[in-house]
Structure 1
Amino acid sequence: MSTRNGTTASTLRVEADPADERVAWLTMDDPARLNAMGRRFWPDLRDALARLEADARTRAVVITGAGEKAFSAGGDIASFAELGDATAKRAFQQDCMRTFAAVEESPLPVIAAVNGFAMGGGCELALACDVVLASETATFAMPETAVGLVPGFGVLRAPSVIGRHWTKLMMFAGERVDAATALRIGLAQQVHPADELRDRARALASRMAGAAPLAVATGKNLVNAHVDRGEFDHSTAALTVLHSTADAAEGIAAFLGKRPPTFEGR
């Protein structure tokens, strides 16, 4: 985990904005792997948010990805194959859900600055944020069914953001959504040229940082008041079952082997 001053110890980098120290940047910093989310990412992000929430200087957070190609390509599929029994699979799903909830429930406003691919868990992380700014080159997708799984958080939140039918299209067919479409369906609130994204995110975060922090925290809590956290248990249970199916094993093996999967519905 990196500190607020940018000392590096993992692929999640935490820095204060040089132009406005009230704004903190959380950067997924593994561009060679398209900022894929490894097993450490989930607790690291929760810890980073908790530290920022405890720091009176921080009034707004921007989450982004390093490099020009990706916000995040999503979960590290190779690490899925390392999950052993159902207990390990369930613990992993719970870990992911706790992190999405930490973003949703943070008293700080959290902006996703999506540069390039936001796939799988990357798209879900954007859904967990309060506002999504996308570059013109951004692409969103939830293609987990291609490896025999479903987006456990996205399947709960996307319907209220983009509607049930768009959720089904993205989930069942792995439909990729470009920036213009994301703006039209509500997956993104603003779209900017790639070379302006960071400045635009900073400007919006600074505006949010200038608002009364207790009012922002209360407003966020009230907007999210209808959210049913009990759904997490149902999603976790369903994903644990899917993780244990032959189709999931085949999907993961096919992905790692760079071949088309053969699913048998078992």
Structure 2
Amino acid sequence: MGVSTSAPEEGIAVVTVDFPPVNALPVQGWYELAAAVRSAGADPKVRCVVLTAAGRGFNAGVDIKEMQRATGHDALIGANRGCYEAFGAVYDCEVPVVAAVHGFCLGGGVGLAGNADAVVAAHDATFGLPELDRGALGAATHLARLVPQHLMRALYYTSRTVTAQELRQYGSVWRVVPRERLMDAALELAREIAAKDGYLVRLAKAAINGIDPVDVRRSYRFEQGFTFEAGLSGVADRVRDTFGTSATTGQEEQS
């Protein structure tokens, strides 16, 4: 359980997240993920990073049970900072990051996938922000990188999800493949990227980040201010404590 890094092929690092049962990460998990991605990207031998997950789904966001057990605001602050670090690590990784997504990609999962350079998804992958149903806010910045603006707003307000096939139509998912082919497809793309000159691909990553129309760090940090306000006001706890297990995802912990 936790975050692990492997090197299946020359020039490629695979960072795998494994927090059963649904990859809802505790505060420390977000920091571990951030450290693993940053370390992989800093390795001069690595030219592409694949971010993937074990188990039932890619990511279910923040571990709500950890939030409910905590007293005071330390858990909320920790989750805010941990997510910021993890999302930022993916975006700022010195080399391209390919997200290999299966099952549910919710809350923080959208933050990770939205900040990746490319997304390869399994047929069963679904993406969404159930934040308003979970007493939280955030990651609209990253959902807006996956879908058009008006759809992002409708998905955000309703807590609905969108399928990998739909995202493929918007051009934000590179390929949609059967679940058993997911890692093969992700590695295929990573292999093509890793075949480039390592120094040049790092320059390309920095250049592309530099021309982004939205500063994702500042945009997400702005959102987090409202997340914290919801926590301080008590509305987050009230909503969080009333939500039940989702019938569509069967998840016990998500954000």
Q: Does 1:13 align with 2:4?
A: yes
Equivalent position of 1:216 in the other structure: 201
Offset at residue 209 of structure 1 (A): 0.8
Q: Residue in 2 aligned with 1:234?
A: 222
Cα RMSD, aligned residues only: 2.0
Q: Percent identity?
A: 29
Any idea what SS the aligned residue of 2:205 has? helix
> Is the Cα–Cα contact under 8 Å of residues 80 and 252 in structure 1 kept in the other structure?
no
Pair 41,200 (structure 1): closer, same or farther in 2 beyond 3 Å = same
Q: Which secondary structure does the structure 2 equivalent of 1:188 belong to? A: coil
Q: Give the letter for the 2:182 counterpart.
A: L
Partner of 1:26: 15
8 A Cα contact 1:120 1:143, kept in partner = yes
Q: Which runs of 4+ in 1 moved over 6 A?
A: none
CA deviation profile, 1:143-181 (whole Å, cap 9, x unmatched):
11002212x2x2123224412111112211111111211
Greater alpha carbon shift after TM alignment, 166-175 vs 74-83: 74-83
Match of 2:143 in 1: 158
Q: Deviations over 1:184-213 (max 9, x none)?
A: 133422111111111111111111111122
User: Which structure 1 segments of 5+ residues have no match?
Assistant: 1-9, 260-266
Question: How is 1:24-103 mapped onto 2 (pairs within 5 angstroms)?
Answer: 24-30=13-19, 32-67=20-55, 69-86=56-73, 89-103=76-90
Conserved in 2, the CA contact under 8 Å of 1:90 and 1:237?
no
| 2:116 equivalent in structure 1 | 129
Question: C-alpha deviations, 1:105-142, integer Å up to 9, x for none?
Answer: 11111100001111111122111111000011111111
Q: TM-score, normalised by structure 2?
A: 0.87
Take 2:83 and 2:36, find their aligned partners in 1: how far apart are those partners? 15
Letter matched to residue 45 of structure 1: L
CA contact (8 A) 2:13 2:49 kept: yes
Amino acid at match of 2:226: A
Matched AA of 2:14: W
Q: Give the gaps of 5 or more residues in structure 2.
A: 247-255
CA offsets per residue over residues 71-125 of structure 1, 9 Å max, x none?
A: 1122111122245445653343122112211110111111000011111111221
SS at match of 1:244: helix
Aligned with residue 154 of structure 2, among 169, 173, 182:
169
Which deviates further from its counterpart, 90-99 or 194-203?
90-99
Q: Residue type matched to 1:127 in 2?
A: G
Distance 2:150 2:42 in 1: 40
- Confirm whether residue 192 of structure 1 aligns to residue 180 of structure 2: no
Q: 1:94·1:236 contact (CA, 8 Å) conserved in 2?
A: no
TM-score, normalised to structure 1, is 0.84
Q: Distance in 2 between matches of 1:218 and 1:97?
A: 24
The higher relative CO (CA closer than 8 Å, separation ≥ 6) is in 2
Contact 2:17 2:53 (8 Å CA) reproduced: yes
Matching residue's letter, 1:249: D
Residues 1:102 and 1:258: Cα distance change in structure 2 (over 3 Å): closer
